[in-house]
Amino acid sequence: MIATVTLNPAVDQNCRIDKLCVGEVNRLEETERRAGGKGINVTRVLRKFHTPVAALGFLGGNNGKMIEEEMEELGVECFFTPVEGETRVNTNILGRDGTVTEILEPGPVITDKELQQFLRCYDGVLEQCEMVVLSGSLPAGVPGDLYAVLIMRAGMFGVKTVLDTSGAALAKGIKAVPYMVKPNINELAQWAGAESLSREAAKQEAEKLVRLGISKVVVSMGSEGLIYADEAGTFFVPAKQVEVKNSVGCGDTVVASLCMSEVAGEDPETAMEKAVAMAAANAAGKGGGEFSTAAYLELLQ
């Protein structure tokens, strides 16, 4: 089983519009609400391919109830920790030209009592899984090195960790040496202390992470593709070209695909080809891990 940890989940409100005009009245063409957050998106993709999943994190209020109900409908084993605050809402404004404007709420403040309850639950789930995915931002109230703590706890159980976050959470998590990290190129640049990175520079930074002891590093570069690095070497896989409808969750789709390949024991080349095909299918679909399996298989071929 694979466990997903979403410490700061959200209800994703997707709003479609012809063109967003800042400072003017904007009339939406349609809106939809669904469970969101990076780890939630990973969970949705894993369940699409019938992978057993346990989902953990913090949920509160009616928004939290909606997320848990949606996960249960997908057949996910839910071990969410209830909190007093209300789970946040993230608004994604989708333009006809493929642009996505994200407006993200901060989320509830987590108390120490809630955190300790989560940690007890996390340790219990680790006894039942072989991989754990740590995704997204940290909520207010938790320590800045929480991902590092979760990585070290997983290591005590012999469980592989996949880290997909940004900023200080990424930097501190890297120090705990997860099994795999999946930054995008901007997050990698921030970790490296650079304003931006070329593809070649990104490869070099990925190799630095491998030398720190991280077994596998995957850098997502949006419409360009993916960089892969491990002890055996580094290579680039170009993205599949599709008409983009919603790019939200493409990185999460990559993470889910990589986890399934890891469990299946697939070689890096096969794993990366699957990952770029799945990310493209997501971009051409509804986003957030909702896409056509047939479209994915066609892109894979």
Q: Which of 97, 145, 252, 267 is catalytic?
A: 252
pLDDT of residue 107: 87
Q: Is 164 a catalytic residue?
A: no
Number of structural domains found in the chain? 1
Tokens of 234: 């580094």
Q: Where in the sequence is the domain holding 66, given as residue range(s)?
A: 2-300
> Using an 8 Å Cβ cutoff, are 197 and 188 in contact?
yes
pLDDT means per 10 residues, the chain with 301 residues, are 96 89 90 92 96 98 96 97 94 84 90 98 96 96 97 97 97 98 97 95 98 98 95 96 85 97 97 96 88 92 86
**Which residue in this structure is represented by tokens 């009245």?**
25
pLDDT of residue 289: 87
pLDDT of residue 130: 96
Nearest to 5 by CA among 116, 175, 95, 125: 125
Cα gap 161→151, rounded to integer Å: 6
Tokens of 83: 């909190």
Cα within 13 Å of Cα(137), Cβ side: 16
pLDDT of residue 287: 79
Cα gap 114→92, rounded to integer Å: 29
pLDDT of residue 154: 98
Cα gap 287→247, rounded to integer Å: 6
Q: How large is the C-alpha radius of gyration of the chain?
A: 18
**Which residue in this structure is represented by tokens 């490869």?**
203
pLDDT of residue 155: 97
Number of continuous H segments (helices) and E segments (strands) in the chain: 10, 14
Q: Look up the CATH number of the domain holding residue 268.
A: 3.40.1190.20
> Using an 8 Å Cβ cutoff, are 72 and 35 in contact?
no
pTM value is 0.92
pLDDT of residue 120: 98
> Using an 8 Å Cβ cutoff, are 166 and 187 in contact?
yes
pLDDT of residue 92: 84
Classify burial at 161, counting beta carbons within 10 Å of its beta carbon; exposed 0-12, middle 13-18, buried 19 or more.
buried
- Give residue-wise pLDDT tens across range 230-263: 999 999 999 998 888 878 889 999 999 999 999 9
pLDDT of residue 98: 76
Phi, psi of 32 (to 5 degrees): -145, 150
pLDDT of residue 214: 98
Cα gap 251→104, rounded to integer Å: 17
> Using an 8 Å Cβ cutoff, are 227 and 202 in contact?
yes
